[in-house]
Structure 1
Amino acid sequence: MKILFAIPAHFAVGLAGTILIIAALALLFAPKFSLPKKSAGLTGLLAGFVSGLMEGVSAIPGPLLATYLIATGATGKRFTKEIALVLVISIAVLIAVFGQSGHASRGDLVISALAALPVIAGILAGRPLRDALPPKLFRAVVLLFIMAAAVQMLVRAGFLHGL
């Protein structure tokens, strides 16, 4: 753990973005790849742990977990349900921790809770599109969004100057 704290935050965010781009590109260009069920559990624990570290460093939990879900073959309803569950739990835990630690005022907590409403609205509004997309196209669209998030992480980290 000391190593994690010794890494500058911008470098950790950039490294996480780089890993995401590599993983997303690998999954995009190997469309038949699917994580074997035997290794999905252990890989899921590792992905969850690394996602927690990423969230602690960059405040972005979703892209690595989305990549993991795509690698396990999740598409459509299953993917949306699982990623939404992770994100809602993540938001709830953050609100609870900041509320208990005294690092946020009641107003901050209310604003944070209200900020989750657009996510929920987006999930509901996106259902018809999600259900209309064939699984391969759904996978490609999700991976493109993951790459966009990763590029944003690289820009924020200063790895891609001028973008």
Structure 2
Amino acid sequence: MRQLEEVAVMGQRRRTYPTVEELRAWRDFIETAEALRSELASRLQKEFALSPGDYAVLLALSEADGLRLRSSGLATAIHWERSRLSHQLGRMERRGLIRRDGCATDNRGAEVVLTDQGARAFREAALPHLRAIRELFVEPLTQEQIAAVGDTMATLRARLASLTDT
């Protein structure tokens, strides 16, 4: 088995599979992130009838110039595939949270616009959502742990970005 786990690199051995401890850390990361997402999603749904997808779209639009974004720009901003976004926007449009307008600069494109109802829904949910993040993620950690999490996530994002740049 050890032969499968290690390869020779310039006379040195390098593991090709994670160790038991590394796998435990990975699993803890995945399970904790999922538990946090699940609890936040449950609260958003129960208290404000918003899904995490609704919230992500409303947040991006609330931060956009003129409270509007091209569909492609919105997809990029929230890191979604355009087909997933299209389905999400249809549901939100039926509920009056957003509307889709033709793009003034490109007849083929559409802009997603935050409606008054969508802005109100976002405002109502934003502060309780931020308090929940503080309760579930910030308060259990020390400032040193918060800094370490930030450094770790930055390192992982940089690694992922380097993979997509090649």
TM surpasses 0.5: no
Greater per-residue strand proportion: 2
Larger helix share, 1 or 2 = 1
* Larger-gyration structure (1/2): 2
TM-score of the superposition, structure 1-length normalised? 0.28
Report the TM-score when normalising by structure 2.
0.28
